[in-house]
Amino acid sequence: MSIKLIQERLNSYKCTSEIEEEQAIREITQEVALAALGRTDFFKHAAFQGGTCLRIFHGLNRFSEDMDFILRHPDQNFELKPHLQAMADELAAYGYHSEVTDRSKTDGAVKNAFLKDDSIGKCIQFNHAGQTRTLRKIRIKLEVDTNPPSGSRLEIKYLDFPFISSVTTQDTASMFAGKIHALLCREYVKGRDWYDFLWYTSLNTDINFEFLSSALNQVGLWQGKNIAADIDWVRAELKQKISALDWKATAEDVRRFVRHHEQPSLNLWGTELFLNQLAKLR
């Protein structure tokens, strides 16, 4: 019955290509893992954030690879490992034989774990995946920031697959603030960041400036400078960034995470489009 649930979930995606099926089965795995964490006390300590959170709870169109979390309160002694066994046990109940490894460093602010599985693909019927090459192993990275910026706002969301579970998440204003920090401070250009920027601005999402200011003071170009970010500051800094990027390369970076029917929109990426969206910030 559990394998049947996974198969039915995959069928509901109506995938049209090999890469879409691979992305879909990874996302289904992410949902099972997230629900498993919801059955522990994990969300008494942490909140879900990032692209996978937007995808699962807010309808973001692009697929996402990793699962990102932020502690409610700084705690460098937080241990991820006790929660990983519960996740592995739940995955096993749905036909997975996963390898879940804690790769956290004792003195690291970010705790890391990796979930790997190459078994579920042998139990599921695919329409596309595995036809031209060997089905890729599912790989999901879990990260927990144990020293988060202050000012985050949280809310409760509910999963209904594979069972009803409760998940604490950052609200969208806080996640947008975190994304702006990434756009300005990440040491490399990530197309998914800019895809998310389009999504946030299309919905006129508010920005949690308290969280953004704290993040800027903690990490990046403005570390220790006590920048009090406001809308004018953000517009000015993002305008410089937008005007300097190679948009063709940036669009290509996100292409494999976007379903086939939406990919023509990536051809519109350019300075004019993003400056137009920047003007929508409030």
Q: In this structure, what is the dihedral angle of CA atoms 181, 182, 185, 190, given to the nearest 10 degrees?
A: -160
Confidence (pTM): 0.94
| Domain boundaries along the sequence of the chain | 1-170, 172-282
Query: Residue 132 to residues 18, 100, 202, 217: CA-CA distances in angstroms?
Result: 8, 28, 37, 48
Q: How many CA atoms lie within 13 A of 282 on its CB side?
A: 8
Range 1-170 classified under CATH 2.40.50.140:
no
E strand or H helix at 175:
helix 172-185
Number of neighbouring beta carbons within 10 Å of residue 50: 22
Taking the C-alpha atoms of residue 36 and residue 26, their distance in angstroms, rounded to an integer, is 15
DSSP letter for 203, please: T
Per residue of the chain (282 residues), give pLDDT as tens. Answer: 588 999 999 999 999 999 999 999 999 999 999 999 999 999 999 999 999 999 999 999 999 999 999 999 999 899 998 999 999 999 999 999 999 999 998 788 999 999 999 888 888 899 887 777 777 889 999 999 999 999 999 999 999 999 999 999 999 999 999 999 999 999 999 999 999 999 999 999 999 999 999 999 999 999 999 999 999 999 999 999 999 999 999 999 999 999 989 999 999 999 999 999 999 998
Q: Which residues contact 71 (CB under 8 A, 6 or more apart)?
A: 45, 46, 47, 78, 144, 145, 146, 147, 148
User: What percent of the chain has pLDDT above 90?
Assistant: 86
